Structure formats: structure tokens, C-alpha cells
Amino acid sequence: MGGLVSKFLQRWTVFAGLVVVWQLLGWFADDPFFPPPSKILTAAYEWWVVEPSNFTEHIVPSVTRLLSGWAIACVIGVSLGLLLGRSERAMEYAGPLLVFLRSIPPPALVPVFLLLFKAGTSMQLATIVFGVVWPVLLNSVDGARSVDVTKVDTSAVFQIPRWQWVLGVVLPAASPKIFAGLRVSLSLSLVLMVISELVGTDNGIGSQLMQAQREFDYTRMWAGIVLLGVLGYGLNTALLAVERRALAWQPRSRDEQHA
């Protein structure tokens, strides 16, 4: 118990200290561009709690877009990645194309998607999916390739059905790398969600942020930024928890082996 408390303190002391310093500086400086945390929290409370419609009309759609875009990218990335990773020929053909597509900065495609899908959810989803699919895809390719020869041979000798080969051998063998890709792409999803909401839309956290900035409401702007930080932190923590459960089979330390 004492260990837990001290670990908690260790993790959060620097963070809390910075907030306190910011609070003090904010008070003394009294600069409209940099309001203290207390004011930001008050603004956030008034904005999203006192007026719940702001919450349901902006935050909920944003998070929904983020998660569905990420989920679509995960499904595409993992399935395509495992397929490409297990076929040497396919990767030879597709490799250069993938590297080329991955090199395009996704925000540069926002105008293209605007033309293709018009402003709105499909364009935002397209931006997120296109932007975040690459880490998942390339990590899945890498993971699928890492199935060692003995496991390939073992599977071949026992003549296991194809579904068991894919879901029972390749997927679990690739899963540590896949999760690394999922983490990167989840934080990228947040970035691309905001970017996709900056143009041609009037709902979502990104558009609210822009609006607050245009109206010189810097406290609200900061509230939006803090919200994005909290969101990113929360999502990452949730994914880490899932990862820990999914990869619980991995030998965690050398001492645990051959115990």
C-alpha cells in the first residue's frame, strides 16, 4: 500500500509541481494569452458541464470519429499487414508504393479528401484512416515476418487449417509489434482528428478550438487544449491496459523463465 502511494507520488509530483508553478505565474503575470489553470478549469466547466449540449455536439462526435477512424485503420492495417508480411512476393511489389504513400503528410491530403467526400464525417474519417493506417500496417508486416522457421514448420507438419495458422500462429506471434503500431497510431488519430476538424466543419473539438481562438477567447482555447491532452492520456492508458492483458503470455523477465 505504502509502495503504491509512493509510486503515485513519484509519477505525479513533477506534473503537479508544474501546474502549481503555472498557476502562480498566471496569477502574477495576469496575461490574457496564458490564463492560470484555475481559470481554464472554470472555463471548461462552464463550457461543457453547464451546457451539456456542447459536450454532446462537439466532444462526443470528435471522440467517435477518432475511435472509428482508428478502428477502421486497425482492421485494414492488421489484415493487410499480416497478408503482405507472410508473402514475400506481395511485399516486393507493394513495398515501394507503401513507403511512398506513407511519406505523404496526411494533412496535405485534407483538400483532396474535401473534394472527394465534401466536408463532413466521411472526409474526416478518410483523413484519420489514411494518416494512421501506416504504423499499424508496417508493424503488422514486420510482426508477421517475425514468425520463426520452427513455428512455421511445426504448423505445416500438424497440417493445421488456414484460419488457425492466421489467427492462432501469425497473429499472436505478431501481436507485440502490432500493439506498438496501435499505440503510435492512436496518438496520431488524435492529431488528425483535430486537423480534420479545422476546416469545413462547425462541430468537434478542433473547430471549437479554432473558433475560440478567432474570438480571442484564450481561456476556452486553453480548455480545449487541456481536454485534448486529457483525452490522449486517457486513451493511451486504456490501450496500455488492454495490451498488458493481451500480451500477458510474454515472459516478462529472465528470472521468470524456467522457474
Partner 1 sequence: MSNMLEVADLGHTYGDHEAIGGLSFTVRAGELVCVVGPSGCGKSTLLRTISGLVAPSRGDVSLHGSHLAVVFQDYSRSLFPWLTVQGNVEFPLRSLPRAERRKRAAEALEWVGLAGAARKRPWQLSGGMQQRVAIARALAYRPALLLMDEPFASVDAQTRFELEDLLLRVRREHDTTVLVVTHDIDESVYLGDRILVLSGSPARLVADLEVPLPAERNQVTTRTDEVFVELRSKVARLLNVGKPAAMDVEKWAAAERESLSETVSS
The verdict on 92 binding partner 1 (CB under 8 A) reads no
Count CA within 13 A, CB hemisphere, residue 3.
0
Name which position in 120, 168, 229, 234 contacts partner 1 (CB under 8 A).
168
C-alpha cell at 146: 517475425
Strand ranges, E, within 85-135? none
The verdict on 245 binding partner 1 (CB under 8 A) reads no
Cell numbers 481562438 label which residue?
Answer: 213
Q: Is 209 exposed, middle or buried (0-12, 13-18, 19+ CB in 10 A)?
A: buried
The span from the CA of 71 to the CA of 164, in Å, is 23
The verdict on 242 binding partner 1 (CB under 8 A) reads no
Among 25-33, 134-142, 163-171, 195-203, the segment contacting partner 1 (CB under 8 A): 163-171
Closest CA to 99 of 128, 141, 129, 147: 141
Name which position in 155, 187, 201, 211 contacts partner 1 (CB under 8 A).
155
Name which position in 14, 97, 115, 157 contacts partner 1 (CB under 8 A).
157
The verdict on 253 binding partner 1 (CB under 8 A) reads no
The span from the CA of 182 to the CA of 134, in Å, is 10
The verdict on 256 binding partner 1 (CB under 8 A) reads yes
Choice between 92 and 153, CB closer to partner 1? 153
Among 30-38, 118-126, 146-154, 217-225, the segment contacting partner 1 (CB under 8 A): 146-154
The CB-of-227 to partner 1 minimum distance in angstroms stands at: 38
The span from the CA of 131 to the CA of 133, in Å, is 6
Which positions ≥6 away from 256 have C-beta within 8 Å? none
List contacts with partner 1 (CB under 8 A): 86-88, 148-162, 164-165, 168-169, 172-173, 175, 249-251, 256-259
